[in-house]
Amino acid sequence: MAKSHKPVVWFPFAAGGTVIAFCIPVIVLLTFLAALGHVPAGLSYEKLHAFAASGIGKLVLFGVIALSAWSSAHRLRCTCYDFGLRADTLVATVLYVAAIVGSIAAALFLLRI
């Protein structure tokens, strides 16, 4: 049996899992505060736009979104299998394509800022 190409999907999954662990909780906390009516100063249009307009800001936002999306897509693929959905190729294709489309969209929106 040939060696698997799983690392192609697993490596970004592992990287994304780390990014989710470190970054997503505090980002959710920020939007959650905004949802509760306490909009943090950093989420004002001027501040956030300035951040997203900077090179480092674009890189950080794109990196967090792309890796998190990929990681959750990959984990969701495994979860579908765990729930008994055995059409793995279909599930994997749909989820990975969704993650890639989401990342491309994020990149395009960032380039417009």
Partner 1 sequence: MSRRPLIREVPPTSWYFRQPRYLRYMSREITSIFIGAYCVLLVVGLQRLAAGPAAWEGFLAALKSPASIVFQFLCLVAAVYHAATWFNATQKAMPIQIGEDFVPGNLISGAHYAAWAVLSFGVLFLAGVF
Partner 2 sequence: MTPLKERLVQLEVLRYNPDTDTEAHFQRYEVMCQEEWVVLDALNKIKADIDPTLNYRWSCHMAVCGSCGMMINGEPKLSCHAFLRSYEGVIRVEPLAHFPVERDLVTAPDDFMEKLKRVKPYVIPKEKKPISEGEYKQTPAQLMKFRQYSMCINCMLCYAACPQYGLTPHFIGPAALTLAHRYNLDSRDEGRKERQEVVATHEGVWECTFVGACSEVCPAHVDPASALQQMKITSSVDWIVEHLIPGGKS
Nearest-angstrom CA–CA distance, 74 and 44: 33
The yes or no reply on residue 82 touching partner 2 (CB under 8 A) is yes
Query: Token pair for residue 3?
Result: 């060696």
Of residues 5 and 112, the one with the C-beta less far from partner 2: 5
The yes or no reply on residue 10 touching partner 1 (CB under 8 A) is no
Of residues 5 and 62, the one with the C-beta less far from partner 1: 62
The stretch among 9-17, 19-27, 61-69, 94-102 that binds partner 2 (CB under 8 A) is 9-17
Of residues 47 and 86, the one with the C-beta less far from partner 2: 86
Write the Ramachandran bin of 37: left for phi over 0, alpha for psi from -120 to 50, otherwise beta.
left
Residue of 40, 17, 16, 18 lying closest to 28 (CA atoms): 40
Query: Token pair for residue 63?
Result: 């990196």
- CB proximity list for 105: less than 8 A, separation 6 or greater: none
User: Which residues in this chain contact partner 1 in the complex, by CB under 8 A?
Assistant: 17-18, 20-37, 39-43, 45, 47-49, 52, 61, 64-65, 68-69, 71-73, 75-76, 78-79, 82-84, 86, 102, 105-106, 109-110, 112-113
